[in-house]
């Protein structure tokens, strides 16, 4: 048995109303998670809790004379677990990319680079410092701070 977005806990599909008398719908998908933090977002946790509550409600309200095939519940649980693992991998990949950008930017200190300035002109300068922000590393070149993505060439 699978849950579609239009089925609700209080629908006849679940054998009557929900124990609390309230109805609601579930989508079976998780929300987006922040790639900058280590924890899960509140939307992710809410959707995980909703999935588990819905599964328990399905089990409580199934017809005892015609029980649901347990392999379908196992398949849903496996899909849910796979989704959680994929989210964790995506989060770790984003963190690895951030670390790689930080190391790459710090490796440019003392080197001459060519970059596109605010006016769109090609400019050269020596990187004297790196400042890390939530949007990415900023290279200190002379009196300016240049985004790492504006660097077009490393000269020496």
What's the rounded Cα separation, in Å, for the pair 52 and 78? 13
**In terms of domains, do 64 and 117 share one?**
no
SS3 143: coil
Strand duo 122-133 + 112-116: pairing:
antiparallel
User: Which of 7-11, 18-22, 36-40, 112-116 ranks highest by mean pLDDT?
Assistant: 112-116
Asked if residue 24 is part of any domain, the answer here is yes
What's the pTM value of the predicted model, to 2 decimals? 0.51
pLDDT of residue 41: 63
Closest of 78, 57, 58 to residue 68, by C-alpha: 58
Exposure string for 26-41, b = 16+ CB within 10 A, e = fewer: bebebeebeeeeeebe
**In terms of domains, do 28 and 98 share one?**
yes
Q: Judge residue 127's burial from the number of C-beta atoms within 10 Å of its C-beta, 0-12 exposed, 13-18 middle, 19 or more buried.
A: buried
pLDDT of residue 77: 81
Asked if residue 3 is part of any domain, the answer here is no
Asked if residue 4 is part of any domain, the answer here is no
Q: Is the pLDDT of residue 10 over 80?
A: no
**The total number of structural domains that make up the chain:** 2
Better-predicted residue by pLDDT, 52 or 3: 52
Which residue range(s) make up the domain with 117? 107-154
Asked if residue 47 is part of any domain, the answer here is yes
Least confident range from 28-32, 73-77, 151-155: namely: 28-32
**In terms of domains, do 139 and 68 share one?**
no
Average pLDDT (128-141) is 91
DSSP 2-55: ---TT-BTTSGGGTSS-TTS---B--S------SSSSS--HHHHHHHHHHHHHH
Query: What confidence category does residue 117 fall into, taking pLDDT thresholds of 50, 70 and 90?
Result: confident
Average pLDDT (32-60) is 66
Asked if residue 55 is part of any domain, the answer here is yes
Q: Is the pLDDT of residue 106 over 70?
A: yes
pLDDT of residue 19: 41
**In terms of domains, do 143 and 83 share one?**
no
Choose one of 102, 118, 135: the last residue of a domain.
102
What's the rounded Cα separation, in Å, for the pair 97 and 53? 36
Q: Is the pLDDT of residue 73 over 50?
A: yes
């Amino acid at each position: 048995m699978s849950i579609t977005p239009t089925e609700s806990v209080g629908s006849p599909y679940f054998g009557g109303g929900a124990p609390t008398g309230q109805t609601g719908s579930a989508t079976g998908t998780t929300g987006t998670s922040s790639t900058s933090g280590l924890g899960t977002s509140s939307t992710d946790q809410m959707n995980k809790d909703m999935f588990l509550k819905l599964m328990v409600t399905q089990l409580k309200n199934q017809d005892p004379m015609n029980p649901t095939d347990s392999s379908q519940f196992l398949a849903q649980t496996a899909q849910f677990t796979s989704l959680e693992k994929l989210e964790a991998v995506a989060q770790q990949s984003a963190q690895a990319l951030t670390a790689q950008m930080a190391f790459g930017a710090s490796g440019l200190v003392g080197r001459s680079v060519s970059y596109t300035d605010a006016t769109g002109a090609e400019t050269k300068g020596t990187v004297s410092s790196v400042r890390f922000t939530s949007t990415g590393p900023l290279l200190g070149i002379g009196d300016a701070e240049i985004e790492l993505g504006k660097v077009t060439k490393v000269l020496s």
